[in-house]
Amino acid sequence: MLKRNIITHAAIAAFAMAGAANAACPSTNPNHSSNVGYLAAGKVIYDSANNQIRLTGSGNASNLEDALNLATRTGKQLVIETNSNNNKFHTISKTIKINIKRTLKVSTTDKVTFKGSSSLDGDLIALKGTSSTSECNTTGSTGNTIKPGVVWRGGRFIMADAKVSTVVPGGQSANLSPASQKGTSATADGLSIRGEVDDPNSSNANDRILVLGHIDVQNIKFYGTSPGSTQNYRYAGGDSGILMVGASRATFKNNRFYGVRDAGIYVSADNYKGHLGDNYTMENNYVERAYDGLTSKRGADKITFKNNDLNDVVVGISTKNRNSGSAWTASDITVTGNEITKTVRGISLERANDVTISNNKIKDVGATVGGNSRPSSNSFDKTFYEAISLNGVTNINSIDGNEIRGVNPANSADKVYALVYRKHDGQSTDNTRPTFTVFSANNPAISGVDGYVKLGSAGN
């Protein structure tokens, strides 16, 4: 009996759409007429033997932009080489903006530097998905759609001289950098990645779709203050080290951040409904002298903070809802194995659900942070140091095995707590009895919050 293959109308339509999309995606051949304009003899070259794009020669920002464009158009790996002196500086005075086509793959070392000049007023390098990014979607072995992404390895990003954005914590009035460094842009991040765009099939301006798949950034070094400086975050230029808004999945691993005006790593769901952007992991990163160490905002779900090391950070690890209402609740949050030293709020969760906080070390709570001997930067209570701060948090799986070490604050009016839990944005926090190993002097009882655990005690 002759067997027939049955193909549904939906499958035919999907196949037709995929064909049309692939036809619109740029050629993978760097020497194709549509791509050859990005090549530059002796600078941006196609290494056919290794099937790579190579950026060689001097550190020209224009050549860097061409190389990044060629790499994402063709899907070839971009290797950014050092010069004969085993270093390379790309001085950038205007944001390098790249529209993602195919997955952008960049490989370099910390001998290669991307440095914002004193005239840079905006992001250093901005990678963006657009409505045409989906033209380069591919189909996996199981018929799943694979969206283009970003794989970035290595490089130094320096924003010490760049303009400070208009939306940094505390506002530009809190800057200790020169007045001439105040910028006019709302973003001034080292590496900016945005993967959500307007839905082309909807007339509603608030309907968005994700066009980027996996974002994977490892082994970069970011300096908001000059390399070697020990100045606090308020002297820093720019904004955050890495900003990422909207991706199907993201991994940030083995990165280092020094002197950051906002966050070392700032990830977020979309700013419209808070439901686009999940599965973010931040692991084994180091942050010192920052306002926010690592933060996830606007209700992104399935967030893992693991084995990170943070020092002298106002807020160490956090989720922040930013907008009001249940749509902005972050779910499935894991904070484990991190070490946080000198902080106002070590682990701070807002409007979160399904939470695990385990085996973290939070030390020197109550010490001077960011050059400020008082916790006045605590947006919840300007006299509180809070090792763990739970604000509208429900379904707490566990808060176990955390080691909290506090010190007596410089001002006797200030208080140091292992745990503070409070209502936030109309949502109460579960009354939980965590287990701690805690070390510190006693503090007086307090009012104005739902509950607290004093350093020196093990219950509430």
CA pseudo-torsion sign 57, 58, 61, 63: negative
Q: Are residues 163 and 277 in the same domain?
A: yes
In sequence order, the 6+-apart residues with CB closer than 8 A to the CB of 299 are 269, 274, 275, 321, 327, 328, 329, 330, 351
Q: What is the pLDDT of residue 1?
A: 36
Average pLDDT of the residues in 270-277? 62
Listed residue (190, 302, 319, 322) closest to 244, CA to CA: 190
* Confidence band, pLDDT 50/70/90 cuts, at residue 12: very low
Residue 118 φ/ψ region, left for φ over 0, alpha for ψ in the -120 to 50 degree band, beta for the rest: alpha
User: Does 181 lie in the same domain as 269?
Assistant: yes
In a domain, 227, yes or no: yes
Residue 348 lies in a domain: yes
Q: What is the mean pLDDT of residues 248-273?
A: 90
286-305 residue pLDDT tens: 999 999 999 987 767 799 99
- Is the pLDDT at 103 greater than 90? The verdict is yes
Contact 76, 52 (CB under 8 A): yes
Give me the pLDDT at residue 10, please.
40
Establish if 107 belongs to a structural domain.
yes
For residues 217 and 364, membership in a common domain is answered with no
Instruction: Please give the pLDDT value at position 23.
Output: 54
pLDDT at 276 over 70: no
Tell me, what's the pLDDT at 205?
A: 65
pTM of the full structure: 0.90
**pLDDT tens digits, one per residue of 436-445:** 555 544 443 3
Q: Fill in the DSSP letter of residue 25.
A: S
- Domain CATH number, residue 146: 2.160.20
The per-residue DSSP string of 249-306 comes to: EEEEES-EEEEEEEEEEEEE--SSSS-S-EEEEEES-EEEEEEEEEEEETT-EEEEEE
Clarify whether residues 339 and 257 are in a common domain. Answer: no
Instruction: Report residue 384's pLDDT band, with 50, 70 and 90 as the boundaries.
Output: very high
CB contact set of 382 (below 8 Å; sequence gap of 6+): 374, 375, 376
Q: CA 434 from chain center: how many Å?
A: 29
Give mean pLDDT, residues 347-354.
91
β-strands 208-210, 196-198 pairing: antiparallel
Q: Do both 105 and 186 map to the same domain?
A: yes
Whether residue 218 sits in one domain with residue 114: yes
Same domain, 295 and 436: no
In a domain, 332, yes or no: yes
Domain count, the chain: 2
Place of tokens 């842009």: 185
Nearest to 245 by CA among 296, 206, 285, 188: 296
Sequence-distant (≥ 6) Cβ neighbours of residue 122 within 8 angstroms: 94, 95, 163, 183, 185, 187, 188
Q: Which amino acid is at 386?
A: E
Asked whether the beta carbons of 284 and 306 are under 8 A apart, the reply is yes
> Which of 12-21, 317-326, 360-369, 403-412 is the least confident region?
12-21
Give the pLDDT confidence score for residue 291 in this predicted structure.
97
Average pLDDT score over residue span 293-320? 91
> What's the pLDDT score for residue 22?
54
pLDDT at residue number 18: 39
Among 248, 275, 306, give the residue marking a domain's end.
306
Domain of residue 342, residue span: 316-460
Least confident window among 148-157, 283-292, 350-359: 350-359
User: Does pLDDT of 308 surpass 90?
Assistant: yes
Q: Is residue 297 part of a domain?
A: yes
> Tokens in use for 326?
């249940």
CA quadruple 453, 320, 224, 234: dihedral positive or negative? negative
Cβ atoms of 116 and 85 within 8 Å: the answer is: no
Q: Does residue 456 form part of some domain?
A: yes
Residue-level pLDDT at 422: 86
Residues 353 and 437 in one domain: yes
The whole-angstrom separation of Cα 220 and Cα 260 is 14
Contact by Cβ (8 Å): 35, 44:
no
2 has a pLDDT exceeding 60: no
Both 160 and 247 in a single domain?
yes
Residues 279 and 393 in one domain: no
Q: In the structure, what pLDDT confidence band is assigned to residue 455 with cuts at 50, 70 and 90?
A: very low
- Do 243 and 148 lie in a common domain? yes
The pLDDT of 48-57, averaged and rounded, is 95
* Residues in contact with 422: Cβ distance below 8 Å, sequence separation at least 6, in sequence order: 380, 390, 391, 392, 429, 449, 450, 451
Domain membership of residue 42 (yes or no) is no
Q: Are 387 and 419 in contact (CB under 8 A)?
A: yes
Return the number of other C-beta atoms located less than 10 Å from residue 154's C-beta.
Answer: 17
Question: Across residues 360-373, what is the average pLDDT?
Answer: 94
Model confidence band, residue 21 (pLDDT cutoffs 50, 70, 90): very low
Q: What's residue 252's pLDDT?
A: 98
Residues 294 and 149 in one domain: yes
Indicate the average pLDDT of the chain: 86
> Which of 279, 306, 333 delimits the end of a domain?
306
- Between CA 98 and CA 110 the distance in angstroms is 22
- In which element (H, E) is residue 334 found? strand 330-336
Which of 278, 306, 334 delimits the end of a domain? 306
Residue 13 has pLDDT above 70, yes or no: no
DSSP string, 74-117: H-PEEEE---TTS-EEEEESS-EEEE--SPEEEE--TTEEEEE-
Q: Is residue 21 part of a domain?
A: no
Q: How confident is the model at residue 430 (pLDDT cuts 50, 70, 90)?
A: confident
Burial annotation 18-44 (CB, 10 A radius, 16+ → b, else e): eeebeeebbeeebeeeebeebbbeebb
Greatest pairwise CA separation for the chain in angstroms: 90
